[in-house]
Amino acid sequence: MTDSAQARAAGHDLVDLVYEAVAGGVTLVQLREKNMPAREFLDLVLRVSTAVALKVPVLVNDRVDVYLAAREMGARVAGVHVGQGDLPVASVRALVGPRAIVGLSASTEDQLYAASVRSAGVDYVGIGALHPTTSKKDAPEPLGHARMAELIALSGLPAVAIGGVGQDDLPLLRASGARGGAVVSAICGAADPREAARALAAAWAADAEVTA
């Protein structure tokens, strides 16, 4: 997931950062810009999709309108990811159509169950927050690895861990059944985004050392 403020603070242009991260092994890009005006966000989506969408899926966080506008303009955007406080996912599915990817954030058993109902139209869930995170002001209370593993096991949909995920978490998340880990600071705040992505990909592939 992207954070343009973190990228700027680390001396990076966000489009260049995303390109380097994909070159390093990132397998999906979710553009999340909570405070960016719609027109500016649309321009960013268009530029990022031009740079990397032939290599990896590009999702738009929250802003279904921006996703639809980018798609109408010919951008290769794969779908959207929404939170519990955004538009209802059934409505999102109706807006984006059957082929778009729709992801939903979840942190409780009830939310996971609701997401798994066929009529909801959800393709995957982002479960979290794993750890405390500074990149999302309204993040739920951190779950920790034990509770994360329980929720992943309960999910009827592919699950990605979100919230404060770092390199050391990835082997254990994979061992718990997660399909991936979403990171922000680990790449957006890195001095070398390509090398950071390579290190994260290597950590994901490593065997977990489960001590408890």
Reply yes or no on whether the pLDDT at 212 is more than 50. no
Active site residue 105: yes
Is 107 a known active-site residue? no
Give residue limits of the domains in the chain: 4-203
Per-residue pLDDT reduced to its tens digit, 65-75: 999 999 999 99
Rounded (to 5) percent helix, strand, coil in the chain:
45, 10, 40
- 137 is known as an active-site residue: no
Which of 63, 136, 174, 194 does the annotation list as catalytic?
Answer: 136
pLDDT at 139: 66
The mean pLDDT of the chain is: 95
Q: Write down the catalytic residue from 32, 63, 93, 174.
A: 32
CATH fold for the domain made of 4-203: TIM Barrel (3.20.20)
Q: Residues 80, 202, 21, 164: is their CA dihedral positive or negative?
A: positive
> What's the pTM value of the predicted model, to 2 decimals?
0.93
Report the interhelical angle of 38-52 vs 14-24 (nearest 10°).
30
Q: pLDDT tens, 112-160?
A: 999 999 999 999 999 999 998 776 666 678 999 999 999 999 999 999 9
pLDDT at 166 over 70: yes
pLDDT value at residue 207? 79
DSSP E strand boundaries for 1-83: 29-31, 58-61, 79-82
Check 4, 105, 155, 176 and give the catalytic one. Answer: 105
Pairing of β 79-82 and β 101-106: parallel
What pLDDT is recorded for position 34? 87
176 SS3 class: coil
Q: Is 99 exposed, middle or buried (0-12, 13-18, 19+ CB in 10 A)?
A: exposed
Under DSSP, the state recorded for 119 is G
